[in-house]
């Protein structure tokens, strides 16, 4: 945490090398207000959650404690997700589950959050976005309600150099990240009070 800066952890639901969601995450880093720092947090290397890991601290994979620490110290969390079979990918569900345990140590609770869904399909990952929002409510995140962002037909919107290729999409994302920065300020202050 930094005094006037908001540190936002960014979780991407795809880890393939040419992922459009990952490209969007990289592009977003250049679109935010100066007060926002986006930090890509990897989740794809996390072993599948198993309740046996909670037996004692030594049982849990080292990657779990590092992941939980990075989420716990973030001022907010931005999820950028593709849609797999009308839902969000298992890599995100696994990360969410890991963050809720051990029991009583839910790192998501009270944290400002936001969701962007990006898809090759026309519906912009609506199903993934809605199901993820439902899950984030369950883990007690303070999720930005509006603006909602569903980006469809996204095959050519983001290039490999961390740039948004289309101006209207760039403007949309710039507005979104500014809204999320303001939300992080408000919701984070409320959670701390």
- Of 2 and 17, nearer to ligand FNR (C-beta) is 17
- Render 69-138 in DSSP notation, one character per residue: HHHHH-SEEEEEE--BTTB--HHHHHHHHHHT-STT--TTTT-EEEEEEE-SSTTTTHHHHHHHHHHHHH
- Please say whether the beta carbons of 81 and 132 come within 8 A: yes
82 binds ligand FNR (CB under 6 A): yes
**Least CB distance to ligand FNR at residue 166 (A):** 16
From residue 100 to residue 139, the character string flagging contacts with ligand FNR as x (rule: CB under 6 A) and all else as - is -------------------xxx-x-x--------------
- Of 106 and 131, nearer to ligand FNR (C-beta) is 131
Give CA torsion, residues 80, 85, 89, 93, to 10 deg: 110
- Of 75 and 83, nearer to ligand FNR (C-beta) is 83
169 binds ligand FNR (CB under 6 A): no
- Of 100 and 131, nearer to ligand FNR (C-beta) is 131
165 binds ligand FNR (CB under 6 A): no
> Residue 111: how many CA atoms within 13 Å on its side-chain side?
27
Applying CB under 6 A, the residues found at the interface with ligand FNR are 14, 16, 19-21, 82-86, 119-121, 123, 125
């Amino acid at each position: 945490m930094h005094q006037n800066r908001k540190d936002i952890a960014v979780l991407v639901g795809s880890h393939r090398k040419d992922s459009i969601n990952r490209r969007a995450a990289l592009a977003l880093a250049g679109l935010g207000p100066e007060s926002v720092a986006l930090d890509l947090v990897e989740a794809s290397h996390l072993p599948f959650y198993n309740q046996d890991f909670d037996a004692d601290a030594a049982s849990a994979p080292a990657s779990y404690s590092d992941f939980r620490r990075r989420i716990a110290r973030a001022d907010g969390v931005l999820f950028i997700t593709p849609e797999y079979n009308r839902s969000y990918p298992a890599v995100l569900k696994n990360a969410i589950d890991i963050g809720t345990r051990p029991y009583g140590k839910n790192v998501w609770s009270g944290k400002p959050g936001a969701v962007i869904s990006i898809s090759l399909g026309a519906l912009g990952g609506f199903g993934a976005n809605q199901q993820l929002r439902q899950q984030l409510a369950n883990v007690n995140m303070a999720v930005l309600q509006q603006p909602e962002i569903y980006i469809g037909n996204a095959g050519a919107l983001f290039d490999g150099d961390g740039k948004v290729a289309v101006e209207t999409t760039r403007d949309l994302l710039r507005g979104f990240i500014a809204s999320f920065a303001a939300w992080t300020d408000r919701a984070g202050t409320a959670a701390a009070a």
